Structure 1
Amino acid sequence: MGKPHVVAIPYPAQGHVIPLMELSQCLVKHGFKVTFVNTEYNHRRVMNALAEQDYFGDQISLVSIPDGMEHWEDRNELVKLTKAIFEVMPGKLEDLIDRINASEDEKITCIIADETMGWALEVAEKMKIRRVAFWPASAALLTSLFSIQKLIDDGIIDSNGTPLKNQMIQLASAMPAMNSANLIWTCVGDLTTQKIIVDVSIKNNNAVKVADWILCNSAHDFEPGAFTLAPKILPIGPLLAGSREGDSVGHFWPEDSNCLKWLDQQPLKSVIYPIPRISIGLEISCRPFLWAVRPDITSDTNAYPEGFQERVATRGQMVEWAPQQKVLSHPSIACFLSHCGWNSTMEGVANGVPFLCWPYFADQFLNESYITDVWKVGLTFNRNESGIIMREEIKNKVEQVLSDENITARAAEFKEKAMKSVREGGYSSKNFNNFIAWMKA
Structure 2
Amino acid sequence: MGVRAVAFWPAAAAVSALELNIPKLIHDGIIDSSGSVLKNQMVQLSPTILAMDSAHFVWACIGDPTTQGIIFYVILKNIRTLKLADWIICNSSNELETSVFNSYPEMLPIGPLLSSNRLGKLVGSYGPKDLDCLVWLDKQPVQSVIYVAFGSITVFDQTQFQELALGLERTNMPFLWVVRRNLTAEPNNAYPKGFKERIQGRGRLSSWAPQQPVLSHPSVACFLGHCGWNSTVEGVSNGVPFLCWPYFADQFTNRSYICDDWKVGLGLEKDENGIIAQGEVKNKIEQLVTVKGYKERALDLKAKVMNSLREDGCSGKNFNNFVKWIKDD
Q: Which residue, 317, 320, 330 being the options, matches 2:217?
A: 330
Q: Which residue, 174, 181, 194 being the options, matches 1:307?
A: 194
Counterpart residue number, 1:185: 59
Measured in 2, the distance between the counterparts of 1:390 and 1:179 equals 24
Q: Which residue, 119, 130, 152 being the options, matches 1:256?
A: 130
Alignment of 1:367-406 (within 5 A): 367-406=254-293
Counterpart residue number, 1:266: 140
Measured in 1, the distance between the counterparts of 2:51 and 2:93 equals 19
Identity over the aligned pairs, expressed in percent?
56
After superposition, what is the alpha-carbon deviation per residue over 1:7-66, rounded to whole angstroms, capped at 9, x for unaligned? xxxxxxxxxxxxxxxxxxxxxxxxxxxxxxxxxxxxxxxxxxxxxxxxxxxxxxxxxxxx
Measured in 1, the distance between the counterparts of 2:84 and 2:148 equals 41
What is the identity, as a one-letter code, of the residue corresponding to 1:313? Q
Q: Which has the higher contact order (CA 8 A, sep 6+)?
A: 2
Counterpart residue number, 1:285: 171
Is the 1:241–1:422 Cα contact (8 Å) retained in structure 2? no
1:250 to partner: Cα distance: 4.2
1:131 to partner: Cα distance: 3.2
Alignment of 1:362-441 (within 5 A): 362-441=249-328
Query: Which structure 2 segments of 5+ residues have no match?
Result: 151-160
Is the 1:176–1:374 Cα contact (8 Å) retained in structure 2? yes
After superposition, what is the alpha-carbon deviation per residue over 1:126-180, rounded to whole angstroms, capped at 9, x for unaligned? xx76532111110001111111111001111111211112111111222221111
After superposition, what is the alpha-carbon deviation per residue over 1:188-231, rounded to whole angstroms, capped at 9, x for unaligned? 11111111222221221111233232110001111111112221
Counterpart residue number, 1:136: 10
What is the identity, as a one-letter code, of the residue corresponding to 1:200? V
Q: Which residue, 70, 75, 79 being the options, matches 1:205?
A: 79
Measured in 1, the distance between the counterparts of 2:52 and 2:174 equals 34
SS of the residue aligned with 2:80?
helix
What is the identity, as a one-letter code, of the residue corresponding to 1:190? D
Counterpart residue number, 2:117: 243
After superposition, what is the alpha-carbon deviation per residue over 1:347-372, rounded to whole angstroms, capped at 9, x for unaligned? 00110001111111111111000000
Measured in 2, the distance between the counterparts of 1:342 and 1:409 equals 21
Measured in 2, the distance between the counterparts of 1:164 and 1:390 equals 31
1:310 to 1:245, Cα distance in 2 relative to 1, 3 A: farther
Q: Which residue, 208, 229, 241 being the options, matches 1:321?
A: 208
What is the identity, as a one-letter code, of the residue corresponding to 1:381? L
Counterpart residue number, 2:30: 156
Measured in 1, the distance between the counterparts of 2:108 and 2:190 equals 40
Number of corresponding residues: 315
Is the 1:219–1:237 Cα contact (8 Å) retained in structure 2? yes
1:285 to partner: Cα distance: 1.0
SS of the residue aligned with 1:301?
helix
Query: Which structure 1 segments of 5+ residues have no match?
Result: 1-124
1:391 to 1:424, Cα distance in 2 relative to 1, 3 A: same
CA RMSD of aligned residues (A): 1.9
SS of the residue aligned with 2:70?
helix
* Larger-Rg structure: 1
Is the 1:248–1:325 Cα contact (8 Å) retained in structure 2? no
Q: Which residue, 242, 251, 259 being the options, matches 1:355?
A: 242
Measured in 1, the distance between the counterparts of 2:181 and 2:169 equals 22
